[in-house]
Structure 1
């Protein structure tokens, strides 16, 4: 059974404004910094350890940073997206 959009009160429909995004980021900033700092510190440690273990040289460090950095960049963006979604969703 689905509800029509007419039965939802208009107070639940908020326009997405720049101030709303800024407020959500400000509220979520400590959590975002903590989680993403842990993520990037782990990636940096993995690149450093992997490069030291294999003795690549500079091109190997760059390649390892790209291989490990791209998934970390994706994870960081997903963290921000989920944090903003949690701030926007009521009762979470």
Structure 2
């Protein structure tokens, strides 16, 4: 009766088992792109909804709408940039490799 010895490290495959290949950079970028699209679409939908709602409730006119755009778009751009940066960094981190 043959048994495989347990792996000395939880990160290494046991003797006799197939090695698990880490995620390639291409697959990591595809995963990051999926997360980026999902999260940034929510950011921009919230920004557009806030502009629409504030414009409808307060009825500012063109000048008020431009001021609202100037207040809401920079945080949305920052959130988009941080989402892109953090998603790519997280997917390329070797500790997150599957």
TM over 0.5: yes
Question: Can you give the 5+ residue segments of structure 1 that lack an aligned partner in the other structure?
Answer: 1-19
Detail structure 1 runs of 4+ shifted over 6 Å in the superposition: 20-23
Q: What TM-score do the two structures reach when normalised by structure 1? A: 0.69
Pairwise CA RMSD of aligned residues? Answer: 2.0
Change (3 A) 1:21 1:67: farther
Q: What TM-score do the two structures reach when normalised by structure 2? A: 0.65
Q: Do structure 1's residue 70 and structure 2's residue 74 form an aligned pair?
A: yes
State the number of aligned residues. 73
Separation in 2 of the partners of 1:34 and 1:61?
27
Separation in 1 of the partners of 2:32 and 2:75?
22
Q: Do structure 1's residue 37 and structure 2's residue 37 form an aligned pair?
A: no
Aligned-pair CA distance for 1:84: 0.9
Q: Identify the residue that residue 60 of structure 1 maps to in structure 2.
A: 64
Question: Can you give the 5+ residue segments of structure 2 that lack an aligned partner in the other structure?
Answer: 1-23
Higher normalized helix content (fraction of residues) = 1
